[in-house]
């Protein structure tokens, strides 16, 4: 299933802002990480209906992915 592109862009903005807050990254760094992440790929391609999950859940997924990449 695919989501409306405009609604997805708004969701991306909310996720990036939330991810920046919980990770301590700047908005720019959070956005850079987001658009290179597996989480973004899954959301944008409609894999497992990731776009239907809450912004909080997706921000936490990003944080886990970010922490895994640090090691």
CB contact at 8 A, 55 and 12: no
| 36-63 pLDDT per residue, tens | 999 999 988 888 788 889 999 999 999 9
Is the pLDDT at 3 greater than 90? The verdict is no
* Dist CA 28 CA 7 (whole Å): 21
Q: Is the pTM of this model over 0.85?
A: yes
Selection from 60, 61, 59 nearest residue 12 by Cα:
59
Q: Give the model's pLDDT for residue 2.
A: 62
Q: How far is CA 37 from CA 4, 28, 40, 53, in A?
A: 20, 14, 5, 16
Residue 1 confidence (pLDDT) above 70: no
**pLDDT band at residue 71 using 50, 70 and 90 as cut-offs:** low
Q: Please tell me the predicted confidence (pLDDT) of residue 69.
A: 87
């Amino acid at each position: 299933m695919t989501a409306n592109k405009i609604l997805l862009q708004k969701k991306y903005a909310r996720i990036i802002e939330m991810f920046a807050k919980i990770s301590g990254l700047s908005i720019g760094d959070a956005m850079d990480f987001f658009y290179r992440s597996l989480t973004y790929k899954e959301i944008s391609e409609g894999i497992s209906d990731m776009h239907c999950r809450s912004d909080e859940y997706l921000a936490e997924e990003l944080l886990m992915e970010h922490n895994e990449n640090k090691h």
